[in-house]
Amino acid sequence: MQIPFERIVQDYGLNVLRVCRALLDEHRAQDAWSETFLSALKAYPQLAEDANVSAWLVRIARNKAIDELRKNKPEILDDHLQWEQADDQVNLQTEADNLQLWQEVAKLPQKQRMVVAYRYLGGLSYAQIAQLVSGNEAAARRAGSDGIKNLRRILGDDSLWQEQS
Whether the CB-CB separation of 126 and 141 falls below 8 Å is answered with yes
Global pTM reads: 0.57
Mean pLDDT in residue range 99-118: 82
**Is the residue at 19 inside a domain?**
yes
SS (H, E, C) 135-160: CCHHHHHHHHHHHHHHHHHHHCCHHH
Domain, as residue range, for 65: 5-160
Whether the CB-CB separation of 116 and 108 falls below 8 Å is answered with yes
Residue 130 CA from chain centroid, whole number: 14
pLDDT attached to residue 77: 41
Whether the CB-CB separation of 57 and 16 falls below 8 Å is answered with yes
Number of domains within the chain: 1
pLDDT attached to residue 90: 43
> If you count them, how many residues does the chain have?
165
pLDDT band at 154 (very low <50, low <70, confident <90, very high): confident
Mean pLDDT in residue range 42-63: 91
pLDDT attached to residue 6: 92
**Is the residue at 31 inside a domain?**
yes
Proportion of the chain above pLDDT 90, given as a percent: 24
**Is the residue at 82 inside a domain?**
yes
36 or 83: whose pLDDT is higher? 36
130 or 164: whose pLDDT is higher? 130
**Is the residue at 119 inside a domain?**
yes
**Is the residue at 95 inside a domain?**
yes
Distance CA 12, CA 15 (A): 5
pLDDT band at 38 (very low <50, low <70, confident <90, very high): very high
**Is the residue at 165 inside a domain?**
no
Considering Cα of 58, then 55, then 112, then 92, what sign does the dihedral take?
positive
Mean pLDDT in residue range 109-128: 85
Crossing angle of helices 95-107 and 5-23, rounded to 10°? 70
CA-CA distances (angstroms) from residue 142 to 18, 109, 111, 112, 130?
Answer: 22, 13, 10, 9, 11
